[in-house]
């Protein structure tokens, strides 16, 4: 009896493990890429196969193998699948009351090559901007300010979602430009901001 229970537990764990891998892959593709439509039929088929064969470890192995191959191909295309479990959300503008809501100030510099530098802290946004300039100069990032965009924001992590809001130093036009950038480059931005604290 104990052997049967252990075998059933192993099958259940195998199913849950593959289901989680599929969910993470699906979330990554839908939230961080523009190629989700390309893989959606395959993921749907795999999900259906897995649902119909919950207690078949051979099917679990086959589905896992196909997901691993897909993830390997995505990595070779330059995608960072570790970002699949986090997301980014923009929420309008906030004032200094944001501190009481758990938000922190940050300044982002989005460079012409799409790299992103940032600084966070308790100083006001103008002081943070000057500190970011000093850091970029020390790193010998010599791009002229007219060649990249600066954004003055508030941020907070909530359940692995990075919430960004404009600050008083951010113009509405600049925030709209940032919104457009996020729409087209969310995965790239999260790659740089995943450890923002």
pLDDT in tens, 133-155: 999 888 887 677 777 899 999 99
Tokens of 94: 């906030």
Cα separation of 29 and 26, whole Å?
5
Q: What is the structure's pLDDT at 185?
A: 86
Q: What is the structure's pLDDT at 97?
A: 93
Q: How many CB atoms lie within 10 A of CB 19?
A: 16
Q: Please answer whether residues 102 and 176 qualify as being in contact, where contact means their C-beta atoms are separated by less than 8 angstroms.
A: no
| pLDDT band of 83, cuts 50, 70, 90 | low
pLDDT in tens, 10-39: 667 888 888 888 888 888 888 777 888 999
pLDDT in tens, 150-163: 999 999 999 888 99
pLDDT in tens, 87-142: 889 999 999 999 999 999 999 999 988 899 999 999 999 999 999 999 988 888 76
Cα separation of 84 and 81, whole Å?
5
How confident is the prediction for the chain on average, in pLDDT? 87
Cα separation of 160 and 146, whole Å?
33
| pLDDT band of 190, cuts 50, 70, 90 | confident
pLDDT in tens, 60-80: 999 999 999 998 998 888 777
Q: Please answer whether residues 88 and 164 qualify as being in contact, where contact means their C-beta atoms are separated by less than 8 angstroms.
A: yes
How far apart, in Å, are the Cα atoms of 95 and each of 119, 150, 176? Answer: 18, 18, 17
Cα separation of 143 and 111, whole Å?
8
């Amino acid at each position: 009896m104990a052997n049967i229970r252990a075998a059933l537990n192993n099958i259940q764990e195998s199913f849950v493990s593959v289901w989680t891998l599929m969910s993470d892959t699906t979330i990554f593709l839908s939230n961080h890429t523009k190629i989700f439509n390309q893989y959606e039929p395959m993921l749907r088929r795999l999900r259906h196969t897995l649902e119909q064969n919950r207690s078949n470890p051979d099917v679990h192995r086959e589905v896992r193998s196909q997901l691993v191959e897909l993830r390997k191909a995505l990595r070779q295309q330059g995608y960072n699948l570790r970002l699949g479990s986090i997301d980014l959300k923009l929420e309008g503008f906030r004032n200094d009351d944001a501190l009481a809501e758990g938000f922190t100030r940050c300044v982002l510099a989005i460079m012409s090559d799409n790299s992103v530098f940032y600084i966070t802290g308790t100083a006001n946004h103008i002081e943070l901007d000057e500190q970011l300039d000093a850091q970029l100069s020390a790193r010998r990032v010599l791009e002229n300010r007219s060649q990249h965009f600066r954004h003055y924001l508030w941020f907070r992590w909530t359940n692995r979602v990075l919430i960004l809001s404009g600050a008083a130093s951010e113009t509405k036009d600049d925030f709209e430009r940032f919104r457009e950038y996020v729409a087209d480059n969310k995965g790239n931005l999260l790659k740089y901001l995943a450890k923002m604290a």
